[in-house]
């Protein structure tokens, strides 16, 4: 017997309730998290979310999804489940691990959000971790020899720095001076955000212990270099190509850190008295040539906008992951947005704060949510990022503080999605 129409589910609104992260550290023996386990960083985030949201009973959490690019050692053993147990959540709370390289946490959010929209979950925790000191990027990887023998991808596609140089080749108008100018501005914007206490609220203090040094409490990001100038950046070497354009100053570094967020159905958030910081409007992933993976956010954003029935002119805030400055500028050029547009990365980005691969998606969401709270004139914002091996990811969010938010019903959301798909 086929199920009756009354048994079919309607898509439910999904809301971003809260997000936190550890301070980001520099990878390596001198970094703040040298000797610290990756899973312990995730546990800190989960416990802080529960502390900050006391009206959320632990047994109401339906799933824990945690991403990691390197899923071995202290980032292995199905880290979503192990982190849930280590954080003290009830044993009835399941969990799983996700890998989509840089977009791991973003995929953890969209995957569990889809479950909420379908009705499988009411409340979830989603996030990511990357301890690049414990797990250097690509360590232990064994690419299939067919990638080379059958020329499936250019060898350069397996090195992200080379793909950024390729992007410079494709878009010669994006000069090194432009990328250095953008990078210096990112450092300045992050420094201003710290000065205005716009970053600290989302940080979880982390205590670490190093032999011979004792305990230390970390309450701020380690990578930022406030005061960096374009002249400073001009002197840096170009490690990926002789006389190239990509440097350590106009790209994100190698970092350690973790993030986590609570998402819920709109109904569950209201029932439990949870704050709504954003509403998920649409999301999309797209594939591009691996050799120029940094262009991935462009088709992903175009797909997400189409699905939402929106245009780029409707987006009032952009949180773009700064894997490389050239990657951000290629996105801005495609959509006709100025390098210094005030809608873009108001608090600075990964060039300044760091990019612990699979964790960064939720950092973008935290910063967008904070900006929504500050600027009620903005209705829609996006979080977007490029992904290794040639992909892009974009999530569109709505500001609950905007005057039009209350009038946006589930029926209207369904109609907008249908119209977008038909366009």
pLDDT tens track for 70-91? 999 999 999 999 999 999 999 9
Percentages of the chain per state (helix, strand, coil), in multiples of 5: 40, 20, 40
Q: Does a structural domain hold residue 20? A: yes
Q: Specify whether the CB–CB gap between 400 and 379 falls below 8 A.
A: no
Q: Does a structural domain hold residue 140? A: no
Show the tokens assigned to 206. 């982390």
Cα three-residue angle 12-57-106, rounded to 5 degrees: 50
Q: What is the pTM of this model?
A: 0.93
Give the domain CATH number at 169: 3.40.47.10
**Given pLDDT bands bounded at 50, 70 and 90, which one contains residue 408?**
very low
Q: Specify whether the CB–CB gap between 14 and 116 falls below 8 A.
A: yes
C-alpha to C-alpha distances, 47 to 34, 68, 205, nearest whole angstrom: 22, 19, 12
Q: Does a structural domain hold residue 2? A: no
SS3 call for 58: helix
**Given pLDDT bands bounded at 50, 70 and 90, which one contains residue 414?**
very low
Show the tokens assigned to 87. 């954080």
Report the mean per-residue pLDDT for the chain: 93
The domain in which residue 93 lies consists of: 9-135+152-422
Average pLDDT of the residues in 323-342: 98
The model's pLDDT over 7-39, given as tens digits with 9 standing for 90+, comes to 666 899 999 999 999 999 999 999 999 999 999
The model's pLDDT over 245-258, given as tens digits with 9 standing for 90+, comes to 999 999 999 999 99
Nearest to 103 by CA among 403, 357, 410, 370: 357
Domain count, the chain: 1
Q: Does a structural domain hold residue 143? A: no
Task: Give pLDDT, residue 211.
Answer: 85
Q: Does a structural domain hold residue 1? A: no
Pick the most confident of 6-10, 105-109, 152-156: 105-109
Q: Does a structural domain hold residue 3? A: no
Which positions are catalytic?
Answer: 102, 355, 386
The model's pLDDT over 205-242, given as tens digits with 9 standing for 90+, comes to 999 998 888 999 999 999 999 999 999 999 999 999 99
**Given pLDDT bands bounded at 50, 70 and 90, which one contains residue 4?**
low
Q: Does a structural domain hold residue 312? A: yes
Helices 79-86 & 38-52 angle (0-180, nearest 10):
60
What are 97's strand-pairing partners? 66
Indicate the pairing of strand 63-67 with strand 123-131.
parallel
* Residues ≥6 apart with Cβ < 8 Å to 390: 153, 157, 287, 288, 289, 290, 291, 292, 293, 296
Q: Does a structural domain hold residue 145? A: no
């Amino acid at each position: 017997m086929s199920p009756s129409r009354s048994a079919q589910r309607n898509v439910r609104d999904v809301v971003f309730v809260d997000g936190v992260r550890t301070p980001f550290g520099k990878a390596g023996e001198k970094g703040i998290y040298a000797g610290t386990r990756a899973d312990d960083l995730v546990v800190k985030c989960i416990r802080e979310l529960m502390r900050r949201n006391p009206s959320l009973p632990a047994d109401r959490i339906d799933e824990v999804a945690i991403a990691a690019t390197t899923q071995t050692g202290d980032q292995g053993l199905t880290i979503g489940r192990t982190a849930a147990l280590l954080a003290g959540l009830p044993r009835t709370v399941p969990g799983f691990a996700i890998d989509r390289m840089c977009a791991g946490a973003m995929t953890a959010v969209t995957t569990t959000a889809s479950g909420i929209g379908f009705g499988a979950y009411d409340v979830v925790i989603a996030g990511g971790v990357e301890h690049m000191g414990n797990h250097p990027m690509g360590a232990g990887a064994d690419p299939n020899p067919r990638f080379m023998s059958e020329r499936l991808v250019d060898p350069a596609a397996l090195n992200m720095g080379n793909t950024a140089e390729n992007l410079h080749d494709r878009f010669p108008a994006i000069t090194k001076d432009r990328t250095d100018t953008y990078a210096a501005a990112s450092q300045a914007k992050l420094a201003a955000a710290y000065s205005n206490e716009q970053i600290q609220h989302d940080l979880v203090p982390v205590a670490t212990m190093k032999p011979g040094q004792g305990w230390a409490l970390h309450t701020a990001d380690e990578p930022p270099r406030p005061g960096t100038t374009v002249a400073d950046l001009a002197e840096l070497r170009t490690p990926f190509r002789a006389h190239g354009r990509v440097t350590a100053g106009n790209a994100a570094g190698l970092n350690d850190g973790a993030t986590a967020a609570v998402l819920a159905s709109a109904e569950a958030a209201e029932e439990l008295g949870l704050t709504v910081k954003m509403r998920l409007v649409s999301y999309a992933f797209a594939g591009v040539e691996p050799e120029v993976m940094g262009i991935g956010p462009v088709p992903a954003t175009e797909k997400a906008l189409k699905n939402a029935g929106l245009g780029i002119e409707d987006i009032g805030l952009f949180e773009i992951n700064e894997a490389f400055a050239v990657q951000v500028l290629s996105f801005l050029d495609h959509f006709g947005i100025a390098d210094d547009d005030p809608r873009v990365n108001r608090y600075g980005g990964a060039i300044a704060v760091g990019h612990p691969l699979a964790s960064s998606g939720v950092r973008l969401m935290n910063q967008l949510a904070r900006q929504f709270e500050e600027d009620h004139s903005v209705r829609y914002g996006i979080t977007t990022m490029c992904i290794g091996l040639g992909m892009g990811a974009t999530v569109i969010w709505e500001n609950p503080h905007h005057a039009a938010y209350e009038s946006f019903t589930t029926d209207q959301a369904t109609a907008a999605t249908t119209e977008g798909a038909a366009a």
